[in-house]
């Protein structure tokens, strides 16, 4: 599509009604026509206290077209005081809580905004024709771009025909990166993601070896796709063979990212299959990136046993998830979390019907992901 500025968003829904009869209204980017020109906003993250903000905005006469918090952010910005858009943006984001990374399109160029804690990633780059902004540096390289670096937390970066300008809207503080970005969400080719997952897998093997007393061969099988690299690290550290014992059909939707629990189960049933030739008569160590609701692990354990595995042991390359997330991951209540109902590893293993379950602790995860990424702000 021709034009000087383009803003595009792929939606992972963390706000808005899950069973909306018109889900298109919650799709970004969100657009506003103002007296100082058009504004288009795409948002990664989740705003704390969004419902209270929504009520206040509607009391002031605001008209909302969606249920998502991204539209609330757009209203805060365009309704703020200021002669120029940058003045309004600076004033508006002072009222916006964590967590957000914004890409905002204007006639004069792109604005990349990252919250004071840098919870969600944001990168900038360029190619021969344009400046580029994306939530992962791998996305910039995939379209032939050169990565210029991260957008710093607490800054507004303006990319236009005049070049790149950076404005800090709060004093600099340490970042507070979401560990799940590197463990699960990021593409494998984003800088630091591969090494972080390798380091997590190695630490799992050192601290949580498999207590098997069987004479059967022991093999490591990663959960596709985000568990495969951690499985590589585990197998390398433990001196065990890694096998492709699970395959995934080419289904676009990732199970965790499906909007409802029922859709997650359907996606899982369709997407995974075990390879009997890889796991039959073996002790299988299944390495996965994380466990949120338990659906994936329950399905995988069943598939591996049906394919002839003698034993199944599950290892997770992140900590046990025991509390909801309000900053951009889609588990807003404790009730939906597997660990809320099965708080011990023994209880989890019994529920899955496997021999053992183990997780990295919070401190172990910070150590591994810091080692892999070179960042210490998880």
Q: Three-class SS of residue 148?
A: strand
Q: Is 351 exposed, middle or buried (0-12, 13-18, 19+ CB in 10 A)?
A: middle
Strands (E), 131-245: 131-134, 146-150, 155-160, 163-168, 218-222
Rounded to whole angstroms, how far apart are CA atoms 371 and 32? 43
Among 89, 164, 82, residue whose Cα is nearest residue 123 = 164
First vs last C-alpha separation in the chain:
38
Domains belonging to the chain, first-starting first, are 23-175 (3.60.20.10), 180-373 (3.40.50.2020)
Q: What is the pLDDT along the chain (378 residues), one digit of tens a residue?
A: 567 899 988 866 556 555 565 667 788 899 999 999 999 999 999 999 888 888 888 888 888 888 899 999 999 999 999 999 999 999 999 999 999 999 999 999 999 999 999 999 999 999 999 999 999 999 999 999 999 999 999 999 999 999 999 999 999 999 999 999 999 999 999 999 999 999 999 999 999 999 877 899 999 999 999 899 999 999 999 999 999 999 987 655 555 555 666 665 556 556 789 999 999 999 999 999 999 999 999 999 999 999 999 999 999 999 999 999 989 888 989 999 999 999 999 999 999 999 999 999 999 999 999 999 988 889
Token pair of 26 as six digits? 């919650």
Give 293's DSSP letter.
S
At 252 the pLDDT is 52
Please give the torsion angle defined by the CA atoms of residues 366, 369, 370 and 375, in that order, rounded to the nearest 10 degrees.
-120
Rounded to whole angstroms, how far apart are CA atoms 370 and 378? 7
Rounded to whole angstroms, how far apart are CA atoms 351 and 98? 36
- 102's enclosing H/E stretch is strand 100-106
Does residue 111 contact residue 102 with C-beta atoms inside 8 Å?
A: yes
Cα atoms in the Cβ-side hemisphere of radius 13 Å centred on 44 = 23
Rounded to whole angstroms, how far apart are CA atoms 201 and 204? 5
DSSP class per residue in 304-360? HHHTT-SEEEEEESS----S---SSSS---GGG-HHHH--SHHHHHHHHT-SEEEE-
Rounded to whole angstroms, how far apart are CA atoms 361 and 334? 19
How many residues are given for the chain? 378
Cα atoms in the Cβ-side hemisphere of radius 13 Å centred on 192 = 22
Among 76, 85, 81, residue whose Cα is nearest residue 57 = 76
């Amino acid at each position: 599509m021709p034009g000087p500025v383009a803003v595009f968003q792929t939606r992972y829904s963390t706000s808005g009604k899950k069973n909306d009869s018109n889900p298109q209204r919650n799709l970004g980017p969100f657009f506003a026509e103002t007296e100082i020109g058009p504004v288009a906003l795409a948002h990664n993250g989740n705003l704390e206290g969004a419902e209270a903000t929504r009520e206040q905005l509607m009391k002031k006469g605001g008209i909302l077209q969606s249920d998502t918090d991204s539209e609330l952010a757009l209203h805060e910005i365009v309704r703020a005081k200021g002669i120029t858009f940058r003045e309004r943006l600076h004033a508006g984001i002072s009222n916006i809580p964590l967590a957000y990374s914004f890409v905002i399109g204007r006639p004069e160029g792109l604005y990349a905004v990252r919250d004071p804690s840098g919870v969600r990633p944001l990168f900038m780059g360029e190619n021969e024709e344009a400046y580029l902004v994306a939530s992962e540096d791998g996305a910039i390289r995939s379209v032939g771009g050169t990565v210029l670096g991260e957008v710093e937390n607490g800054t507004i970066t303006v990319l236009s025909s005049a070049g790149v300008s950076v404005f800090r809207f709060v004093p600099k503080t340490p970042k507070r990166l979401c560990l799940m970005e590197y463990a699960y969400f990021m593409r494998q080719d984003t800088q630091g993601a591969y090494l972080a997952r390798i380091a997590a897998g190695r630490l799992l093997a050192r601290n949580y070896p498999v207590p098997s007393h069987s004479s059967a061969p022991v093999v490591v099988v990663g959960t596709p796709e985000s568990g495969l690299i951690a499985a590589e690290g585990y197998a390398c550290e433990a001196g065990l063979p890694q096998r492709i014992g699970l395959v995934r059909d080419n289904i676009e939707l990732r199970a965790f990212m499906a909007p409802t629990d029922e859709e997650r189960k359907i996606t899982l049933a369709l997407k995974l299959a075990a390879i009997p030739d890889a796991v039959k008569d073996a002790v299988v160590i299944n390495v996965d990136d994380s466990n949120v609701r338990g659906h994936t692990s329950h399905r995988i354990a069943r598939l591996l046993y049906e394919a002839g595995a003698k034993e199944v042991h599950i290892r997770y390359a992140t900590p046990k998830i025991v509390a909801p997330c309000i900053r951009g991951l889609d588990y807003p209540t404790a009730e939906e979390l597997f660990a809320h109902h099965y708080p011990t590893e023994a209880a989890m293993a019994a529920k899955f019907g496997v021999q053992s379950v183990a997780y990295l602790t919070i401190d172990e995860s910070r150590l591994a992901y810091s080692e892999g990424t070179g960042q210490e702000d998880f």
